[in-house]
Structure 1
Amino acid sequence: MLINKTLRKWFPWRTWIQPWDNIDRWLLLLAIGLTVFGGILIRSTQATQGWTDWLQHWTIGAIGVAIAMTIATWPYQILLSLHWLIYAVTNLSLIAVIAIGTSELGAQRWISVAGFNVQPSEFAKVGVIISLAALLHHRPATKLSSVLQILAITFVPWALVLVQPDLGTSLVFAAITLGMMYWANANLGWIVLLFSPLISGILFNIPPTSHWLWIIWAIWLVTIAFIGWLSIPVRMIGGLGALLINLGSGVLGRVAWGFLQDYQKARIILFLDPEQDPLGGGYHLIQSRIAIGSGQLWGRGLDQGTQTGLSFIPEQHTDFIFSAAGEQFGFVGSLLLIVAIWLLCMRLIFVALNAEDDFGSLIAIGVLSMVIFQVFVNISMTIGLAPVTGIPLPWLSYGRSALLTNFIAIGLVESVANHRKKRRF
């Protein structure tokens, strides 16, 4: 007690920061650093147009930091009693988009609030994380009934996002769900079975140009049937059910293809060979690869990129912000950026491992799953390894709703860190 009084007398500023005394400072600093760097990249893509999106990015980032710091002081356990309310608000906001939302770029994803377009599907990611964390806290995913409950709860917001249509965000929901179920001790075989119909839907709709493809199909079906036999309690039903579902997903894949918008079909087809339509659907990917390749080892330098400076890449300040980093800072700069994101993810894992309870640990893992999936898909699509899905690069891409969502998520994780037991040395 005497030591504490002496410290407060000598260092009065410690009293001011006491509410955040146990937060993960590295996690917060990495998020802020990525936001600052994102603003620099956004400015470099719009230097010739005179737009101020970079300034808005920093402003929203500052608001996001304030929100995160506020959330960090609140005990996150209060969300356990509010998770159904949060779930209801999440779904109602997604329904409101369908009813009164505004359309841009072929999708209805935004609601206009005081002159600003708000994207509820971004905030829905946090709502889903809180809802699933609360459910898995009470019922771990060690039983098949618990897994089915989680899937049913996730299906409603997932379907509401998919009909907007927003395929990218719906995939983020799937990644969050699978990541959290794995952390909640779900059988790994169940997770593979849940993911397998997507693979089958793609694999069985590839034209059989070689006899090797028939062999691959056969191996895949045998493997999935064996996993179902091994992991489902009633083995015969598990093996046969997994086989039939994956066979049926091939047919459903063709049906689902018919529901996709024309631009979504073009994105899926053209990422394999963007030169088929170099001035249309393949233009983004071609220009992005040119930009990243021209950066070589050390990059052209800030504001010195030709593809970036002359705006050859559409949406380069949002979905394709990584191409600006690759062109101006080269392979070394891109690698350092990925390392920074990796360190942030490691801090999320550290918080999850040291959380006070399962609820806090699951929140951190939910945020980790969201970040990892978005980073992987965004970078993959800019270098031509994945279709263009419109998924932003966390803290770097311009987008007010996405940036606020990321800082709200960080605030929740910081609350988990701030309210854990303090270590004694």
Structure 2
Amino acid sequence: MIRAIRETVGSVFSTRHIRWMEFAWPALLLAAGLLFIGLVFIDAMSLSQSNLGGSGAAGRIDFENHKQKVLVAIPVFFAGLFLRPMWLRRFTPLIYLACIALLVLVQLIGDERNNAKRWIQLPRFDLQPSELAKVGTILMLAKVLQSSRLDTLGEWLKPLLVALLPMVLVAIQPDLGTALTIVPVTLGLIYLAGGSGVVISAMLGATALSGFLAFQSGLLQGYQMERVETWIESFDTDDLIAARNGTAFHTFYARTFTGNGGAFGRGLGEGVANETGLLPERDCDSIIAVIAEEWGFYRTAALILAYGLMVVFLMISASGLRDRYARLVVGGVAIYFAAHLFINVSVNVGLLPMTGLTLPLLSTGGSSLLATFLALGLALGLGSHHERDLGSDAFRRY
């Protein structure tokens, strides 16, 4: 029995095939540093005056709860790290289908909050299937694209359909912001697989046009229409100030506190965002605004640069892989982090409409942490977990 268990585990996980000399240590060290910085800021938030008094519009922030979630997510990271590429490639369709099943299940038994069904209540944990679906979609896109040269219409339709299904299921929750994060990952992976840049640009333009037409025709949800309208009006300073206690509340305070840090910041835990508790979701969606206020422009810029360097090192790791499937997964994870960084920062400085999207490694969130740690573990593992493979394709540029 014990031998059978060991053989079963050995067929799924392996440490012997990892080449530690080829491991993407810079990416891991940067990720660990970002995680540590996030923990420091969230701890400071939990000790702020608004939390000590139990008041504040943004609610109480529980650092101990966040720390426990990080500890739970660490084994998930190692599971992804030691997962055997051959097993992952073989069972990718089942993983993808399981993610789709969870997205369907959330519509049936999900917990409804603020007119949205996004969570499945579990003992001591709320599962958000849309976060795991991002990882499942990356894996399935890599599976579809590994043997595709994108020479025919059918080869283009397959990855688009793979991405469209979870996007639709997430959008009807409704959670349009999370659904749209799949777009850059999909187009980025198609490009890495050899897709024409001209065609991808046309698809991106068509996506933007569809969004504009949906807005003009009123097809968006009421709150989504309100966010877009508020974003457009926020470019006029007078309109933004006038709506600061209404629809532009979050937008106004995110931008205000971001600029309030000046060049060098107000000091850890001494920002007005923490002292007043006025900034909504300051531990997750708007954590970069808190960092900008307390660290200032220069250190926040350095933080964003470090985040970008982590993405670059993951891409470098991907470019050196012979296994096309592994290469696409690692590249997809890099795009996943890059997309979240761009969208989250852009939202908080007013370049994009307000949307509920975390900044992985820095923000709180149970399902987000699980997805982030799993994605990072898979990327680092596949980047150094070499088994015999005859594939020798390289990223192609058309």
TM-score relative to the length of structure 1? 0.80
Contact 1:20 1:73 in 2 (8 A): no
User: How far does residue 74 in structure 1 lie from its aligned partner after superposition?
Assistant: 2.3
1:76 aligns with 2:85: yes
- 2:33 matched residue in structure 1: 33
Query: In the aligned structure 1, how far is the partner of 2:87 from the partner of 2:149?
Result: 20
In structure 2, relative to structure 1, the CA distance for the partners of 1:266 and 1:392 (3 Å cut) is: same
User: How far does residue 378 in structure 1 lie from its aligned partner after superposition?
Assistant: 0.7
1:120 aligns with 2:119: no
- 2:216 matched residue in structure 1: 254
CA-based RMSD of the aligned residues comes to 2.1
Alignment partner for residue 341 of structure 1, among 307, 311, 314?
A: 307
User: How far does residue 421 in structure 1 lie from its aligned partner after superposition?
Assistant: 8.0
- 1:371 matched residue in structure 2: 337
SS of the counterpart of 1:344? helix
In structure 2, relative to structure 1, the CA distance for the partners of 1:46 and 1:272 (3 Å cut) is: farther
Contact 1:352 1:365 in 2 (8 A): yes
1:295 aligns with 2:261: yes
Query: In the aligned structure 1, how far is the partner of 2:230 from the partner of 2:79?
Result: 45
SS of the counterpart of 1:271? helix
Query: In the aligned structure 1, how far is the partner of 2:341 from the partner of 2:353?
Result: 14
Query: In the aligned structure 1, how far is the partner of 2:222 from the partner of 2:71?
Result: 38
Query: In the aligned structure 2, how far is the partner of 1:319 from the partner of 1:103?
Result: 20
- 2:71 matched residue in structure 1: 62
SS of the counterpart of 2:75? helix
In structure 2, relative to structure 1, the CA distance for the partners of 1:201 and 1:112 (3 Å cut) is: same
Q: Which amino acid aligns with 2:330?
A: A
- 2:202 matched residue in structure 1: 193
Query: In the aligned structure 2, how far is the partner of 1:370 from the partner of 1:19?
Result: 24
- Return the index of the structure with the highest Cα Rg: 1
Alignment partner for residue 152 of structure 2, among 138, 143, 150?
A: 143
Q: 1:123-154: CA deviations, max 9, x gaps?
A: 00010011010110122334332111111222
In structure 2, relative to structure 1, the CA distance for the partners of 1:17 and 1:183 (3 Å cut) is: closer
User: How far does residue 102 in structure 1 lie from its aligned partner after superposition?
Assistant: 0.6
- 1:317 matched residue in structure 2: 283
Q: Which amino acid aligns with 1:287?
A: Y
What are the residue-to-residue correspondences of 1:200-215 with 2, within 5 Å? 200-201=209-210
1:358 aligns with 2:324: yes
Query: In the aligned structure 2, how far is the partner of 1:101 from the partner of 1:317?
Result: 24
**Greater CA drift, 32-41 or 19-28:** 19-28
Contact 2:317 2:383 in 1 (8 A): yes
User: How far does residue 67 in structure 1 lie from its aligned partner after superposition?
Assistant: 2.1
1:174 aligns with 2:136: no
User: How far does residue 273 in structure 1 lie from its aligned partner after superposition?
Assistant: 2.4
Q: Which amino acid aligns with 2:284?
A: T
Contact 1:72 1:418 in 2 (8 A): no
Q: Which amino acid aligns with 1:36?
A: F
Q: Which amino acid aligns with 2:343?
A: V
In structure 2, relative to structure 1, the CA distance for the partners of 1:198 and 1:77 (3 Å cut) is: same
Higher relative contact order, chain-length normalized (CA < 8 Å, sep 6+): 2
User: How far does residue 93 in structure 1 lie from its aligned partner after superposition?
Assistant: 0.4
Percent of paired sites with the same residue: 30
Query: In the aligned structure 1, how far is the partner of 2:345 from the partner of 2:115?
Result: 23
Contact 1:44 1:309 in 2 (8 A): no
1:21 aligns with 2:30: no
User: How far does residue 202 in structure 1 lie from its aligned partner after superposition?
Assistant: 5.4
Stretches of structure 2 that go unaligned for 5 or more consecutive residues are 1-14, 53-59, 235-239, 389-398
- 1:244 matched residue in structure 2: none
- Alignment: residue pair count: 358
User: How far does residue 325 in structure 1 lie from its aligned partner after superposition?
Assistant: 0.3
